[in-house]
Structure 1
Amino acid sequence: MRVLKGIWKWGLRLFVVLFIGQFIYIVLLKWVNPPVTFTQIGSMLAGRGCHSRNKSSADVSENARLAVIASEDQLFPDHNGFDWKSIQKAIEYNQKKPGRLRGASTISQQTAKNVFLWQGRSWFRKGLETYFTFMIERIWGKKRILEVYLNVAETGNGIFGIEQAAQTYFNKPAKNLTQYEAAAIAAILPNPLKLSVRPMSPYVASRARKIVQQMNFLKPDRDIQRIVQAD
């Protein structure tokens, strides 16, 4: 019994320390960029390398911020971190076609996963993703979430972030990206290891054009403007 009580007390202390630690880390990242992510570590271990340059929103084109919203999460300004309708549709689709999984992650969920967690589809990881999404929505806010997402998202083979992608694919800083260039980078986000901006496949080119159309449609929206405009 003494041994069990000792283990219980040790485990409880460890849990408290880890909980306080992760909370402090979440708060700190409201102002400080993540030094490294599990996805970046995985890329290095897989031999793909990790090339990344962090930039503030002021140093990133409005086109880039608008492009990822148009491509990945058009309800980003309106939801609380979860797009429940899309999640329900994805569940129904996956039940009908279990061999072809469809995701429904918002930008907030993707940011939580990229910054704090590892890649995978386990229920345990998904539960942690839900927790971290809830926390960053309330502590960081939409603008900071989008800023971090644009710095940590995988944008190619060993390439992370919009700045590194802009330099790699277009030899220019992210603040100078045109609509179509930003849309082309956003077009590969669903699968950056298989899709590429250069050379650009007909699929990516077609998807980029559709994203530009959605950007033009979303741009006048006031809620969108509050998020994509730099402070």
Structure 2
Amino acid sequence: MTSIGKFIKRLLWAVLLLVVAFHVLVAGLLLIWKTQPINNSMFMLTHRLTGGSVTQTWADYDAIAQSAKQAAIVSEDSKFSQHNGFDFDGIEAARKKNEASGTMSAGGSTITQQLAKNLFLTSHRSYVRKGEEAVITVMIEKLWDKQRILTAYLNVAEFGKGIYGIDAAAHHYFNKSAAKLNRDESALLIGMLTNPKYYGDNQSDRGLRNKQRIIKKRMNNAVLP
């Protein structure tokens, strides 16, 4: 074997070891976070590293208003309580929508997939990241129950510049805890998730208010875990 061949072989082994080590780390954190509050994520870490401050307080499942949980499901993942991490009908619908529009506006990601990205990955789009997202999604679904997944998602999602988690958002925008959010407030906050930095400064935006109305109308159809 030539020196170049040996170098490539060593490089491949090094990459493999890094991948294995990363997934061991992910598994370890998921086991810890199965019962412990989550007060950091890759998105929060990135925000801090770029000079921003982060506001986030953990709220357990029962400390989050039912309306907020309903709103998250009907807006982000209507089949959340039934699937195993992937909504293949939603993925196909998003693919067709993107083909028709010629853009990547529709993602089709489930709540578990979004949680995997928020906790361990970045917003950068690539096939490698999507592959990692899929692997971590399977790990989350195997290690956590649906209540824990929904709780974690609502606690690490971004609701504005440096505002992470439903409780921090409730205090920031409405001066109350997540447990006391009403239907209008819950629908508005969940509607912000598609573009939190913009909507955080533009709460009267017509698009956001339309989302709020749609979410509120569908809220009672949510199947909670």
Q: TM-score, normalising length from structure 2?
A: 0.88
List, as ranges, runs of 4+ consecutive aligned residues in structure 1 with deviation greater than 3 Å. 1-10, 12-19, 45-48, 196-199
Q: CA deviation at 1:151?
A: 0.5
Of 18, 21, 26 in structure 2, the residue corresponding to residue 22 of structure 1 is: 26
Residue 130 of structure 1: CA displacement? 0.2
Gaps of 5+ in 2: none
Task: Supply the AA of the counterpart residue of 1:26.
Answer: L
**Residues of 1 paired with 2:180 and 2:201: CA distance?**
17
Match of 1:154 among 155, 158, 163: 158
Q: SS of the residue aligned with 1:78?
A: coil
Aligned AA (1:171):
N
**CA RMSD of the aligned region, Å?**
2.3
Residue 138 of structure 1 corresponds to: 142
After superposition, the C-alpha distances for 1:153-186 in whole angstroms (9 at most, x for unaligned) are 0011111100000000000000000011111101
1:214 maps to: 218
TM-score, structure 1 as length reference: 0.86
> Match of 1:54, SS?
coil
Equivalent position SS for 1:188 = helix
Distance 1:173 1:84 in 2: 35
Q: How many residue pairs were aligned?
A: 221
- Aligned pair partner of 1:44 in 43, 48, 71: 48
CA distance, structure 2, for counterparts of residue 209 and residue 179 of structure 1: 10
Identical columns (%): 35
1:193 to 187, 192, 197: 197
Number of the residue aligned with 1:221: none
Label 1:2 to 1:36 Cα distance change in 2 as closer, same or farther (>3 A): farther
Give the counterpart of 1:74 among 65, 78, 83: 78
Structure 1 position 123, deviation (Å)? 0.3
- Superposed displacement of residue 89, structure 1: 1.7
Structure 1 or 2: more helix by fraction: 2
- The verdict on how the C-alpha distance between 1:213 and 1:29 changes in structure 2, with shifts beyond 3 A counting, is same
Match of 1:112 in 2: 116
Deviation at 1:114, TM superposition (A): 0.4
Q: State the Cα distance separating 1:198 from its structure 2 match.
A: 6.0
Deviations 1:58-96 (Å, cap 9, x if unpaired)? 211111111111111111111111111111121222223
